[in-house]
Amino acid sequence: MQSTMQDAPLQIAQILRHGSTVHGDAEVVTWTGDGARRRTYAEVGRRCAQLAHALRGLGVDGDQRVATFMWNNAEHLEAYLAVPAMGAVLHTLNIRLFPEQLIHVANHAEDQVIIVDPSLLPLLNPQLPQLTTVKHVIVTGESTDGVDAPDSVQVHAYEALIAEKSVDFDWPEVDERSAAAMCYTSGTTGDPKGVAYSHRSIYLHSMQVCMTDGPALKQGDRALAVVPQFHAMSWGLPYAAFMIGASLIMPDRFLQPEPLAALLAAEQPTFAAAVPTIWLGLHQYLEQHPQDISSMKDVLIGGSAVPPSLMHVFEKDHGITVLHAWGMTETSPLGSVARPPAGTEGDERWHYRYTQGRFPASVEARLIGDNGETLPHDGKTVGELEVRGPWITGAYYGVDAADKFDDGWLRTGDVGSITPDGYLTLTDRTKDIIKSGGEWISSVDLENAVMGHPDVLEAAVIGVPDPKWDERPLVAVVLRDGSDSTPETLREFLSDKVAKWQLPENWTIIPEVPKTSVGKFDKKRLRSTFHDGGLDVTRL
């Protein structure tokens, strides 16, 4: 029996229509280093229509890809809204990819147009000749100065291109399951792989961002989006803010602690989202340059685990609640959010807040063991996290990656446990976990223990082959200058911190841990250096 409900698609055009009318007075603020550019959502709505007309004029039709190579700013917001609303597909290029990765993803997505910020031209220019499908480069602002493009590419200034276009556009009705936006993951194995979000998935995810068991973004909030728009859709903040009537505060390229502090003082955000590194840097700066940042009530932190000390200091010093969250590009990205259960207090409350959080109704989670068995959610049993839901990817764009999926569920590659009431605690990545004599050793736990030693700057732990135990941990340590710690003293330091059978016997002192393009430990490279005999290993 069919329902009698209207067949109204969930689509970005509706977010655009709603935000630019009902919430037309909300604003997007773009930081300029010493001040701000301001634009109301009503203006954004009109400029989105102009941008859509301009792109149509350049021949963008059907589901062609329009890429951005941009910081977080008002024009990036316009591209977020206008490109999908007109039926085309937004591709947010990660400005931190290695050149060969950037070339790969732009060609793989067949980008027709790239919108770029002037300050990023030095990063884009060298690759332009190898971007085989790009026909147009649009530089934000008034000028095309600084573009170095091959003759086959037409170059436009954003403001001139949209000027005098109509401020009305007849946004088409789209199939809600069609692609709206693409983002490539910056994984450490192989080429980056693309995820294509649908109108439906973005719409539903935006609702979740405004739900009380999610970030609970609300009308009137001033949301500081530090997490880049080229990274997992800025965690969905731009769309959710437009949907609910929260203003957006965009830092553009000013992501260092000092300008961020100035932005906080000037624009008084009530909500913010960023990775832990940003908040650590800001906290250190504020210790030396005290400033009231108590306008911020909630700060969403994810991307990697948040040090509990950071959560405490933000609450104690600034009255800010840190919302720990988990997600990935493949999950839109939310994921779980660590709101403690109502009624919990004190240490119990903190215990919940340290976790990666609780899943909402739309994200089903399960744990899978070594032999494919489903494991209990008892808060103790550890397995690989798999997730399912309407905003979780079920494939990668144009790539066969069947091993990343399991009967319709996404294999996250994360390892952890889930409590009966749905709270996730991650302990490692599947590819980094060390399988020793049938037991699992968390490389992350070992790293954290080693990094607790005052002489240790960085520590990365990988599994190495062992004839008796299959695998045993190898600890690669970066020591502070002038330290006299040795593998022996470090192992001694660990002896009362980890279980005896986990105590690592393989150690190597290195000058630096190799990093990926987004600054994470590149254990793949470390493993390959080990296998090539490039590490000087002490065996205790």
Question: Annotated active-site positions, please?
Answer: 185, 330, 435, 440
Query: What is the chain's length?
Result: 540
CB of 1 to its own copies, least distance (A): 4
Is residue 309 helix, strand or coil?
helix
Query: What's the rounded Cα separation, in Å, for the pair 341 and 300?
Result: 17
Query: Which of 96, 135, 218, 318 touches its own copies (CB under 8 A)?
Result: 218
Query: Which of 74, 89, 128, 264 touches its own copies (CB under 8 A)?
Result: 89
* 204 is a contact residue toward its own copies (CB under 8 A): yes
Query: What's the rounded Cα separation, in Å, for the pair 280 and 134?
Result: 39
By C-alpha distance, which of 5, 10, 453, 406 is closest to 243? Answer: 10
- As given in the structure block, the two tokens for residue 123 are 């990063």
Site for its own copies in 237-276 (CB under 8 A): 243-245
* 420 is a contact residue toward its own copies (CB under 8 A): yes
* 5 is a contact residue toward its own copies (CB under 8 A): yes
Nearer to its own copies, 389 or 413 (CB): 389
| Segment lying near its own copies (by CB under 8 A), choices 23-31, 111-119, 125-133, 457-465 | 23-31
Beta strands at 409-418 and 383-388: parallel, antiparallel or unpaired: antiparallel
Query: What's the rounded Cα separation, in Å, for the pair 198 and 474?
Result: 42
Nearer to its own copies, 17 or 135 (CB): 17
Query: Which of 158, 230, 391, 507 touches its own copies (CB under 8 A)?
Result: 391
CB 102 within 8 A of CB 127: yes
Query: Which of 341, 369, 376, 452 touches its own copies (CB under 8 A)?
Result: 341
Query: What's the rounded Cα separation, in Å, for the pair 505 and 220?
Result: 56
* 185 is a contact residue toward its own copies (CB under 8 A): no
* 187 is a contact residue toward its own copies (CB under 8 A): no
CB of 8 to its own copies, least distance (A): 5
Site for its own copies in 349-388 (CB under 8 A): 358-362, 364, 377, 388
CB of 91 to its own copies, least distance (A): 11
CB 324 within 8 A of CB 349: no
| Segment lying near its own copies (by CB under 8 A), choices 335-343, 442-450, 520-528, 532-540 | 335-343
* 200 is a contact residue toward its own copies (CB under 8 A): yes
CB of 533 to its own copies, least distance (A): 40
Question: Phi then psi for 121, rounded to 5 degrees?
Answer: -60, -40
Site for its own copies in 31-70 (CB under 8 A): 63
* 2 is a contact residue toward its own copies (CB under 8 A): yes
* 511 is a contact residue toward its own copies (CB under 8 A): no
CB of 62 to its own copies, least distance (A): 8
CB of 76 to its own copies, least distance (A): 21
DSSP characters over 27-61: EEEEE-SSSEEEEEHHHHHHHHHHHHHHHHHTT--
110 by Cβ neighbours in 10 Å (0-12 / 13-18 / 19+) ranks as middle
* 421 is a contact residue toward its own copies (CB under 8 A): yes
| Segment lying near its own copies (by CB under 8 A), choices 116-124, 163-171, 175-183, 274-282 | 175-183
Q: Is the peptide bond before 9 cis (omega within 30 degrees of 0)?
A: no
195-209 residues labelled b (16+ CB within 10 A) or e (exposed): bbbbbbbbbbbbbbb
Query: What's the rounded Cα separation, in Å, for the pair 285 and 262?
Result: 11
Site for its own copies in 400-419 (CB under 8 A): 408, 410
CB of 365 to its own copies, least distance (A): 9
Query: What's the rounded Cα separation, in Å, for the pair 120 and 387?
Result: 36
Cross-strand bridge partners of residue 198: 179
Site for its own copies in 422-481 (CB under 8 A): 422
| Segment lying near its own copies (by CB under 8 A), choices 177-185, 260-268, 295-303, 425-433 | 177-185
